[in-house]
Structure 1
Amino acid sequence: MPQPLRFAQALLAQFTQLSRADDGATLLGDFVRASAELSACELSQLYLLDATHTRLVLNAEYWQGLLQPRAATSLPADYDGEQLLQYALCQNKVLSLCELNASLHETGFLPPGAKPWKSLLCVPLLDQHKAVRGLLVCASRDHRELAGFADSLGQLGSFALGQMRLLQPSRRSPGASPSSVDVVPVASGFGLIGKSPAMRQTCKLISKVLNNPYTVLLMGETGTGKEVVARAIHDSGSRSSKAFIVQNCAAFPESLLESELFGYRKGAFTGADRDRVGLFDAADGGTLLLDEIGDMPLSLQAKLLRVLQEGEIRPLGSNDTHKIDVRIIAATHCDLIARVADGRFREDLYYRLAQFPIELPALRDRGGDALDLARHFARQACTFLKLDQLDWSDAALDHLCGYAFPGNVRELKGLVERAILLCEGDELLPEHFALRRAPEPADGGLNLRARLGQIERGLLLDCLRKTDGNQTIAARQLGLPRRTLLYRMARLNIRACDVGS
């Protein structure tokens, strides 16, 4: 910034100007105009999350020296597919590019023109609760370094959001209690990927427990991402600056697990030639994830219960207890209620752990999230292997859509990484994915589920044959989404040769 004093004076004047706005439209228009003038960019855009926090909407645009009128019929309502915008929004990070390349970066949100855009700045805008509410985008057709403006423009944007809140009229009737806004964060807002209703509900639950000390119990099938969600709770909460430690309770025998968690004093047992700090102490002020909590031995369960109730530990070989401040997150794929009934898990510990349970959905229940995750894992794998990004064929996407993913997200990640290694061209094809197919049941000794499966298979085959194998028409006649039809075809082992027979 060549003239910081002059910039500071201009910035102060813009704060003053925004404070005088008497309606929301004027306020947002003044903000994008001020952002363009302060950064000396030809374009400034303001994107805000809608009331449900699930869609990113263009609210104001300053271009070619004028505020551009918003034509609802010509602008998309949801900018979820724009990778640059979603990166800055989801990661809550400033994105500054001084070498914008249209062949590498998707820039469909920028106005077209004869001269290409060269520089881009995306600044997340925070509300009074430090939550991301939207994005400011500044762009120039010249090569410019814009990162130096990010902090000042971010502060100006947060001020504008505060003013916007003050300008919103109260619509409550006299005597009514204050209405609370039902905040449903975008799934990717916590570093999680997915827009399905199941993931939005999961993220809504995460948002409720971020900044309180309650113990969280994460449940779900193997591979559903319990550790990823635990880290999201830690990274997005008030303990993010402290340690996040993971301990798998099934990875150690009882004696070693106790010393790992509680630590020990010199001489506590043979081989204890020095003091050792346990994981409870190492995670003090932060978060400790106890994975596979259902496999913790009963004797250790009693000690863990005391930690949760009293907030204190006693290392092995010590007579003294001391206080700790650790947030415990437990995770399991087991049915803890069943283990309580079998006497393998303490009932009092279960109710103490399940202060705030979150059931993570299986990938087969998350709709189109599997494709978003597959693309994400493919980008990660190509970057790690230093390969050019690969395209996806429609056939490969349909191939994945028809699979149930019994191993959930973990299985999907492995399948995609293997496909990247097998792909010798520039496009991923169905043959690159080795999907496990359930064998077709034999006719003899069928149980009820197998018999119903045979009936369903016959109905699908009849409909597909009547439509000459047209899956779209068949799905419409069956009253199913096409991808549900593909999933059922894969589950019932229906192939193209079966349709033609």
Structure 2
Amino acid sequence: MFTYLPQPLVYAEALLGQFTRLSQAADGAALVGDFLRGVAQLSGCELTQLYLLEATHGGLELSVEYLNGVLQPRDVADLPADYNGEQLLQFALHHNRVVCLDSMSGSLYETGFLPPQASPWQSLLCVPLVSQRKAVEGLVLCASRRYIDMKGFADSLGSLGSFVLGQLQLLQRLGRSNGNARPAPVSALNASGYGMLGNSPAMRRTYSLISKVLHSPYTVLLRGETGTGKEVAARAIHDGGSRRSRPFIVQNCAAFAESLLESELFGYRKGAFTGADRDRAGLFDAANGGTLLLDEIGDMPMSLQAKLLRVLQEGEIRPLGCNETHKIDVRIIAATHRDLALLVRQGKFREDLYYRLAQFPIELPALRQRGGDILDLARYFADKACECLQRDHVRWSEAALGSLAAYAFPGNVRELKGLVERAVLLCEGGELQTGHFSLPLDAITQDSSLHLRERLVQVERSLVIDCLRKNNGNQTLSARELGLPRRTLLYRFGRLNINPGDLDG
């Protein structure tokens, strides 16, 4: 651990003193402050920072920093809105890798998270902090305006930081047992929505549900139409939770025949069947410690459903051709576009497995239920397509935006993405027109005299009427589903010219 340090015995003595001092801290604030002071003393750096994962939404937050001998939380106004775009921090966090920069002048990393100083920062060390659960739950960072080779500090500072994480959790448990615990502050959902796009009421409800389950062991069932982004949501749950540094593996249950799917999931031993010439680990083993997404779970054969139920209940698997079981630690997320409750009634899906999978269901909204998200997503996909093609960004005509807003998108976000990417390829000028989109003629508004705002009113009217029909005219349920106060919904009846007769269609 001390191989690269000039005076290893002196450093080891100082490190031991820090462990002793930190073990005596009486509260979390004192513990964190003493930790950063200790890191500054051990490393000789002018700046030390502690980043911790926010418990509710899993975002990285600057807890406190120690700068030029002064312990101070920086003014919130001076901090980034979030650290999702800080590649150096995110690399260390998600890959559980130490980042050591001896000369920052030639670094490719942006370092906007460092406080500005009169003379530039020259050396930096960023170390992931691993909890007792073997999950990365924070970062300790130190920086200097001098050229320092800091790689020799990485292991010891990581161990010291992990000890601090354990002490923080111990102090929190003691506080709860004494009745002094205060609820953790709940921050507003960040604009990225866990890497998902959209700010409609339907998507904000989805973000809220994701935030509730990030740090829990519950099995999640993602439901929704084809193309609504179920895999994206599963990835968001994995990346935002405590397993982010471990594997995330996806298996489509409809992609293999029954025998192949079983060997793919559970693995096999040499000689288990013809052609099994070696042992092979299955996806449950490959995802150990991380997350396994079972997509299209409704298409899993009944015989495999019984084996999956045992995995969920006992946390153990038995590979093909093996007489012994072994334990695994995998979070299962299931996804389907099918109605599992209906399949249960039809005898095509095990009832006990259904209730085990549906421990925490999340319904992903169809694109037609997301209102203004359609145009925001279209612009985003167009910008990404232009970047991929290395061409200037395109403009949008009002007619093109109106045609997209009036379309129902049965293929949801996946269909929108494909349509926009094709349109960018077809666009030879600098503006996207209606002709660049291969929309069915009967799916878009035929009245070309309508402006964009008028077409959006038509879309809004259709959404409200569809919701009322779905709820058999119940205004309270419809208002709740649309994310509106009932009074606002009644006001929109008049503005959108909705009459009782419109619900009969």
Query: Could you tell me the TM-score, scaled by structure 2's length?
Result: 0.60
Aligned residue in 2 for 1:193: 195
Distance 2:150 2:375 in 1: 36
Q: Deviations over 1:449-498 (max 9, x none)?
A: xx99638579xxxxxxxxxxxxxxxxxxxx99xxxxxxxxxxx9xxxxxx
Residue by residue over 1:2-57, the C-alpha shift from the partner in whole angstroms, topping out at 9 and shown as x without a partner, is 42333222222222333444555444333222222322322212234456455654
Worse-superposed segment, 151-160 or 65-74 = 65-74
Q: Deviations over 1:68-95 (max 9, x none)?
A: 5446475438443551434444554433
| Pair 339,21 (structure 1): closer, same or farther in 2 beyond 3 Å | closer
Q: Which residue of 1 aligns with 2:348?
A: 345
Matches within 5 A, 1:443-458: 454=458, 456=460
1:207 is matched with which residue: 184, 206, 215?
215
Asked whether the equivalents of residues 253 and 296 of structure 2 are also in contact (C-alpha less than 8 Å), the reply is yes
**Which of 7, 10, 17 is 1:13 aligned to?**
17
* One-letter amino acid of the counterpart of residue 364, structure 2: P
Tell me the equivalent position of 1:466: none
What CA distance in whole angstroms lies between the structure 2 residues aligned with 1:144 and 1:168? 36
| Change beyond 3 A, Cα 1:102–1:421 | farther
Q: In structure 1, the residue corresponding to 2:161 is in which secondary structure? A: helix
Whole-Å Cα distance in 1 between the matches of residues 164 and 230 of structure 2?
Answer: 37
Quickly say closer, same or farther: Cα 1:95–1:221, change in 2 above 3 A.
farther
**Does structure 1 residue 117 correspond to structure 2 residue 127?**
no
Matched residue, 2:361: 358
Question: What is the rounded CA distance, in whole Å, between the counterparts of 1:71 and 1:171 in structure 2?
Answer: 26
Q: Distance in 2 between matches of 1:131 and 1:266?
A: 33
Q: Which residue of 1 aligns with 2:39?
A: 35
Distance 2:57 2:165 in 1: 15
**Percent same amino acid among aligned pairs?**
46
Distance 1:111 1:352, change over 3 A: closer
Q: Conserved in 2, the CA contact under 8 Å of 1:265 and 1:274?
A: no
Aligned residue for 1:193, secondary structure, equals coil
**Equivalent residues of 2:297, 2:335 under 8 A apart:** yes
Alignment partner, residue 309 of structure 2:
308
Amino acid paired to 1:305: A
1:461-472 equivalences in 2 (<5 Å):
none
| Residues 1:292 and 1:127: Cα distance change in structure 2 (over 3 Å) | closer
| Contact 2:98 2:127 (C-alpha < 8 Å) held by counterparts | yes
Residue 165 to residue 179, structure 1, CA distance change in 2 (3 Å)? same
Cα distance in 2, alignment partners of residues 264 and 369 from structure 1: 46
| 2: CA distance, partners of 1:265 / 1:127 | 34
- Cα distance change on mapping 1:92 and 1:413 into 2, 3 Å: farther
> Residue in 1 aligned with 2:138?
134
Distance 2:227 2:365 in 1: 8
Per-residue Cα deviation, 1:222-274 (whole angstroms, up to 9, x for no partner): 34554466678789778997x97654333345676677678999999xxx754
Across the aligned residues of Structure 1 and Structure 2, the Cα RMSD in angstroms comes to: 5.9
Q: How far off is 1:157 after superposition?
A: 2.3
Report the secondary structure of 2:124's partner residue: strand
Counterpart CA distance in 2 for 1:147 and 1:375 is 40
For the residue of structure 2 that corresponds to 1:139, the secondary structure is: strand
Partner of 2:479: none
CA distance in 1 between counterparts of 2:235 and 2:76 reads 41
Retained in 2: the 8 A contact 1:289–1:329?
A: yes
d(CA) in 1 for partners of 2:371 and 2:119?
42
- Cα distance in structure 1, aligned partners of 2:56 and 2:265: 41
How far apart, in 2, do the equivalents of 1:259 and 1:125 lie? Answer: 36
Q: Distance in 2 between matches of 1:432 and 1:117?
A: 49
The equivalences for 1:165-314 within 5 A come to: 193-194=195-196, 198-209=206-217, 216-227=220-231, 246-252=250-256, 273-275=274-276, 283=284, 286=288, 289-296=293-300, 300-305=301-306, 308-309=309-310
Q: Deviations over 1:272-298 (max 9, x none)?
A: 7545789996645847654323234xx
Contact 1:231 1:244 in 2 (8 A): yes
Deviation (angstroms), 1:101: 5.3
In structure 1, the residue corresponding to 2:126 is in which secondary structure? strand
Match for 1:45 among 44, 49, 54?
A: 49
Deviation track 1:366-387 (CA, whole Å, cap 9, x = no partner) reads 99899899989989997xx8x9
Which has the higher mean CA deviation after the structures are superposed, 161-170 or 329-338?
161-170
The 2-side partners of 1:45 and 1:231 are apart by 28
1:206–1:18 distance in 2 versus 1, CA, 3 Å: closer
AA aligned opposite 1:308? L
1:45–1:60 CA contact under 8 A, matched in 2: yes
Distance 2:427 2:146 in 1: 38
Find the residue that maps to 2:10 and give its secondary structure.
helix
* Number of aligned positions between the proteins: 425
Long gaps (5+) in structure 1: 444-450, 459-478, 481-491, 493-501
- Secondary structure of the corresponding residue to residue 104 of structure 2: coil
2:334 is aligned with 1:333: no
How far, CA to CA, are the matches of 1:92 and 1:380 in structure 2?
31
Distance 1:82 1:239, change over 3 A: closer
* TM-score, length-scaled by structure 1: 0.60
CA contact 1:53–1:183 (8 Å) conserved in 2 = no
Flag the 1:203–1:101 CA change in 2: closer, same or farther, 3 A.
Answer: farther
CA-CA distance at 1:67 after TM superposition: 0.5
Q: Which residue of 2 aligns with 1:94?
A: 98
Q: Does 349-358 or 116-125 show the bigger shift?
A: 349-358
Give the whole-Å Cα distance in 2 for the aligned partners of 1:374 and 1:295: 35
Distance in 1, Cα, partners of 2:81 & 2:42: 28
Aligned mates of 2:280, 2:185 — CA distance in 1: 35
Q: Distance in 1 between matches of 2:268 and 2:53?
A: 50
Amino acid at match of 1:122: C
What CA distance in whole angstroms lies between the structure 1 residues aligned with 2:99 and 2:433?
A: 34
Deviations 1:334-362 (A, max 9, x none): 12223344x26235365355253432534
2:206 is matched by which residue type in structure 1?
A
